[in-house]
Amino acid sequence: MPIDINGLPNTHTQASGDRNILPVGERKPVGQNTDNGRSSVKDTVSFSDTAVRLGRLGVAVDDTPVVDTQRVEQARQAIQDGTYNVNPARIAEKMMALENLLSGKK
């Protein structure tokens, strides 16, 4: 973002895809100041549905415990008892499902 320092001319050229920067000659004030020195223009922010969902998902993830201690204890006990069974086919299926999910395949 170009900054005008000490009244020096701005030699920054606008990138073709950057629509947020106006050339120096086209800058206009956003709002007029009122008696109290504040702008008469109010800023607003709106979020897309996707952003709202991602925010809610973030809260849900933050509220989820990192480790399910009960499940860990059950697995530990099954290993100690010798009753823990490994199902290689299920592990392979889950690995492939994860790989497909990460690569965008269904």
9, two tokens: 């001319």
Condensed to tens digits (0 to 9), the pLDDT of residues 47-85 reads 899 999 999 999 998 888 889 999 999 999 999 999 999
Instruction: Provide the residue range defining the domain that includes 84.
Output: 49-98
Which amino acid would we find at residue 67?
A: V
Burial of 14 (0-12, 13-18, 19+ CB in 10 A): middle
Q: What pLDDT sits at residue 41?
A: 77
Written as six digits, the tokens of 94 are 């889950």
Whether residue 37 lies inside any domain: the answer is no
Look at residue 17 and tell me if it is in a domain.
Answer: no
pTM over 0.75: no
Residue 86 lies in a domain: yes
Kindly indicate the confidence band of residue 22, based on its pLDDT and cuts at 50, 70 and 90.
very low
- Which amino acid does the sequence have at 32? Q
Do 22 and 2 form a contact (C-beta atoms < 8 A)?
no
